[in-house]
Amino acid sequence: MKIPVSPECLHCQALLVIDSVAIIDKKSERIIIKQDSKINLLKYINKIPFSDISRIVTERHIHHKGDEDDSFTWTVNLIKIQGDSIKIYETSYKPVAEKLAENIRRITNNKENYWITP
């Protein structure tokens, strides 16, 4: 399963990153996050074994717009056993985030379901 990842989700040089993808590899039991940049020498690959993932969290973010209605975005985050959080997807649509998180949980055999809503 390939998941497009927005550059700002991975806390790196967002200005240099031109393409990001998270790949769930069932055979090697890893989530592989790949980023390509405008500079050919800068490539980022992060391989996270399923066993290092303690839970998959879906989180709601509120964006205040002053007098206008607030808008929401939903993120899907991997929480590693060491406590690190890696945001792998962001969308304006709750059902998309829910389905993606559910699929990742199913593939990685992670049964815990977490929602964070401020």
Beta-strand relationship, 53-63 and 71-80 = antiparallel
Whole-structure pTM over 0.75, yes or no? no
Whole-angstrom distance, CA of residue 41 vs CA of residue 38: 9
pLDDT for 12 equals: 46
Domain parsing of the chain, residue ranges:
2-116
- The arithmetic mean of pLDDT across residues 30-43, rounded, is 76
Q: Name which residue leads in pLDDT, 118 or 88.
A: 88
Overall fold of domain 2-116: PH-domain like (2.30.29)
pLDDT recorded at residue 8: 47
